Amino acid sequence: MSHIRGSHHMTLSVGGAQEDVDFHVGTLGMRFIKRTVLFDGSLPIYHLYYSNAAGDPSAVLTTFPWRQAGLVGRRGTNQAREVLLSVPSGSLGYWSRRLVEHGVDVFDTEVFDRHRVEFRHPSGIEYVMVGVDDDPRVGHAGNGVPPEHAIHGIHGVGIHVATPERMVEFSEEVFHSQGKLVEDGDRAAFRVGEDAPGNHVELIADRSDDQGTWRYGAGTFHHVAWNLETLENQDELKFEIEGGGYTDISELKDRKYFKSVYVRTPAGALFELAVTHAEGGWTCDESPHELGTRFQLPEQFEDRREEIFSKLEPIEATK
C-alpha cells in the first residue's frame, strides 16, 4: 500500500527576499501564507511560503533568500531543478503574455506532445507551467490574475540525473511509483504514490552538466516534500526506505507547521516526507484570513525576535 498522497511543498534557495516576494506574489499572483525563518542553524534567514487560495499543501512553494548571507549555489545534474506548476491548459497563452509583461523571458515548448511555458525565477531556478484540465485545486487570484487562470498548485518536479536508472529503481522499490514510465527524448515521467495532486516526477538524463550543489545557495532547488498525511504513514515509509538500503535518511524534525524526515535519493534530489500533524497547519499561529501578514517565529527563537528581525532585510507584500 502506498502512503504518498501527492506533493506537500517544494523549497528553493533564492537570492533577494523582496525580489522573491515580487515574483511569487506580484508576477505569479500566489498567496503569501507565511513569513518565518529557517529553523536549522543559527543564521537569521527568512523562510517564505506561497500557496494557492486554500493554502493546499500540494500548492506550497517555500523559499530561503540567501543574498544577505552571500551564499550562491550551482545548478547542475544530480539535483532537483524544475518547479512544474499546474494551470488550466487554456491559460498557457495568458501566462505567456503576463510573464512577458512582467519582464520575464518565456519559452514555449512542447513536451509529451503538450504545450508548456518555461520561464525562470529571478535567481535562475527553472519554472514550467503545465496545462492540466481536471485539477480541482482553486488558484489564488492575486494581483490581477483572473480566477480562471490562477495557478492550481504544484504539478510535479523535474530532476536532472546522470544515471536515471538508479532513481527509477528507487522509485519502483521504495517510493511507490505507479503507471508506465513515459519517455520523450531525454525525459522520463512517472507518478508516485496515490492519485493526488502534484505527484508527477520527471527525470531528465543529464550527463553533460557538472554536478549541482546540494547545500544552501541562491539559484538552486533545495528539496521536494511529499504528503504522507499521518505520522504512521511517514514512519512506515521511512522504515521501507531504510530497509531498501537507502540509509541516508534523517530523524524526525519538527517544522512547527508539519513534521518531516528527509532522504537523499540516488538522483541527488533531497526528498522530504512531510505530515501536517494535528497541532500544526498554517493556521496554528494565524487565522485563515491573516495568513502571511505577521512575522512568525518558532518557540525556540522567540527570545531572539528583535535581533533576528533587525538582521533581515525588510520585505513588503503590497499586492
Fill in the amino acid letter for 315: I
Q: How far is the CB of 253 from Fe ion (least distance, A)?
A: 9
- Which residue do the cell numbers 515521467 mark? 189
Q: Which stretch binds Fe ion (CB under 5 A): 9-17, 34-42, 149-157, 295-303?
A: 9-17
| Cβ-based neighbours of 257, under 8 Å, separated by 6 or more | 34, 276, 280, 281, 282, 284
Cβ atoms of 128 and 158 closer than 8 Å: yes
Q: How far is the CB of 184 from Fe ion (least distance, A)?
A: 29
Given the complex with Fe ion, which of 104 and 225 has the nearer CB atom? 225
Residue 47 Cβ, how far from Fe ion at the closest point, in Å?
Answer: 9
Opening angle at CA 132, ends 131 and 138, nearest 5: 115
Closer residue to Fe ion, CB minimum distance, 218 or 225: 225
What is the nearest approach in angstroms of Fe ion to the Cβ of residue 225? 4
- Out of 92, 272, 282, 292, which residue is the one contacting Fe ion (CB under 5 A)? 272
Minimum gap (Å) between residue 10 Cβ and Fe ion: 8
Q: 153 to 182, contacts with Fe ion by CB under 5 A?
A: none
Nearer to Fe ion among residue 100 and residue 231 (C-beta): 231
For Fe ion, the closer of residues 62 and 123 by Cβ is 62
Half-sphere exposure of 45 (CA within 13 A, CB side): 25
Report d(CA 167, CA 315) in Å as an integer.
39
Q: Which is nearer to Fe ion, 80 or 92 (CB)?
A: 80
Residue 225 in contact with Fe ion, rule: CB under 5 A: yes
DSSP string covering 89-108: GGGHHHHHHHHHHTT---EE
Residues numbered 75-114 forming contacts with Fe ion, rule: CB under 5 A: none
Do residues 82 and 158 touch, judged by C-beta distance below 8 A?
yes
Q: b/e map of 109-120 (b: 16 or more CB within 10 Å)?
A: eebeeeebbbbb
- Between 246 and 271, whose beta carbon lies closer to Fe ion? 271
Site size with Fe ion, rule: CB under 5 A: 3
Binding to Fe ion in span 122-141, by CB under 5 A: none
Residue with Cβ nearer Fe ion (57 or 131): 57
> Residue 87: which of 131, 51, 56, 126 has the closest Cα?
131
Q: Are 120 and 47 in contact (CB under 8 A)?
A: no
Stated length of the chain: 319
**Looking at 41-49, 199-207, 270-278, 310-318, which segment touches Fe ion (CB under 5 A)?**
270-278
Q: Report if residue 11 touches Fe ion, rule: CB under 5 A.
A: yes
Helix (H) or strand (E) holding 239: helix 231-243
CA distance 17 to 316: 9
CA dist., res. 89 & res. 129, Å (int):
9
Instruction: For the CB of residue 298, give the shortest distance to Fe ion in the complex, in Å.
Output: 14
Question: Running DSSP on this structure, what letter comes out for residue 138?
Answer: P
Q: Does 308 bind Fe ion (CB under 5 A)?
A: no
Q: Which stretch binds Fe ion (CB under 5 A): 177-185, 187-195, 220-228, 229-237?
A: 220-228
Choice between 8 and 200, CB closer to Fe ion? 8
Smallest distance, Fe ion to C-beta of residue 272, A: 5
Residues of this chain that interact with Fe ion (CB under 5 A) are 11, 225, 272
